[in-house]
Amino acid sequence: MTEEKKTWEDLSIEESFDYLDQVLARLENKDSSLEDSFAAYQEGTLVIKAINDKIDAVDRKVQILDAQGQTSDLTLSK
């Protein structure tokens, strides 16, 4: 059975950060053309947005347990 190839949108938060490191390495490569560098920059900004969206989704799911054992949504101040 073959494993389906994941796209960066399907990665976990940790995997997304690893992928972003790969994109940054491409961006920092001195041998890259201007077009390749620009493509890496665009991809990096999309990966960062996806990471932020994933973190926001997790943030909305986080709950706290109070002293009486009741749960309520955790609201983080920005």
Q: Position of tokens 């690893």?
A: 18
* Averaged pLDDT in 10-residue chunks for the chain of 78 residues: 61 92 94 94 95 85 62 59
Instruction: Quote the pLDDT of residue 57.
Output: 81
Helices (H) and strands (E) in the chain, counts: 2, 2
Nearest Cα to Cα of residue 47 among 10, 77, 73? 10
How many whole angstroms separate alpha carbon 42 and alpha carbon 38?
6
Instruction: Quote the pLDDT of residue 72.
Output: 67
Domains of the chain: which residue ranges? Answer: 10-66
